[in-house]
Amino acid sequence: ARPDPAARADVRTVITAVIDEARQMAEERQVTLAIDTVDVGCVRCTLGILSSLISNLVRNGVKYVGEGPGKTVCVRALRQGSFMRIEVEDNGPGLPAAMEAAVFEPYVRGPDNHQPGIGLGLATVKRVVEAHGGRVDVRSVARLGCRFGLELPCAAGGPEEGADVEKALPPPS
């Protein structure tokens, strides 16, 4: 399907809803979910699309952050010119060497992966983001974690355009 050029989704609303939705899964795995900075703004896609994209990244972070104490998945959104950059970062084991380039390809899964799935989530995120005029990336450091990022065009108009950036949205209680 083609993106709706008139669609707009409020980033703060979606991030808060996704974190609330993923909280039970995180608690079951003893993972702390956190919201870092969320800049004010809307992106050019529907609420459902943005929710699906962020939810995929957050759930992957919770699923793959590993075991042990102190595991955290953090979400932030930063306006960068005409794009909104959304990052989901974890402090897990990171990706195996040389997986960064392949992780967004269909059916690619890490070795010794015992989590359910067939390797289509990140490939779908990439295709949807690119169809909406954006891009995706990942940075991984062994034993320090991963940071998955997606950038989507900001929606024009509305009170957020030209507004001061609102910082440090506290995590939901």
For the chain, counts of helices (H) and of strands (E): 3, 7
The model's pLDDT over 60-115, given as tens digits with 9 standing for 90+, comes to: 999 999 888 999 999 999 999 999 999 999 999 998 877 887 899 887 766 566 66
Beta strand pairing call for 32-38 and 72-80: parallel
What's the rounded Cα separation, in Å, for the pair 6 and 165? 23
First CA to last CA distance, the chain: 37
pLDDT of amino acid 144? 92
Q: Write the CA distances from 122 to 2, 10, 137, 161, integer angstroms.
A: 19, 22, 10, 30
Q: Is 60 exceeded by the pLDDT of residue 155?
A: yes
β-strand partners of 154:
43
Cα–Cα distances in angstroms (integers) from residue 16 to residues 12, 70, 114, 142, 171, in the given order: 6, 22, 29, 29, 8
What confidence tier does 10 reach under pLDDT thresholds 50, 70, 90?
A: very high
* Percent share of the chain, pLDDT over 90: 68
CA distance 67 to 133: 36
Mean pLDDT (whole number) for 104-131: 80
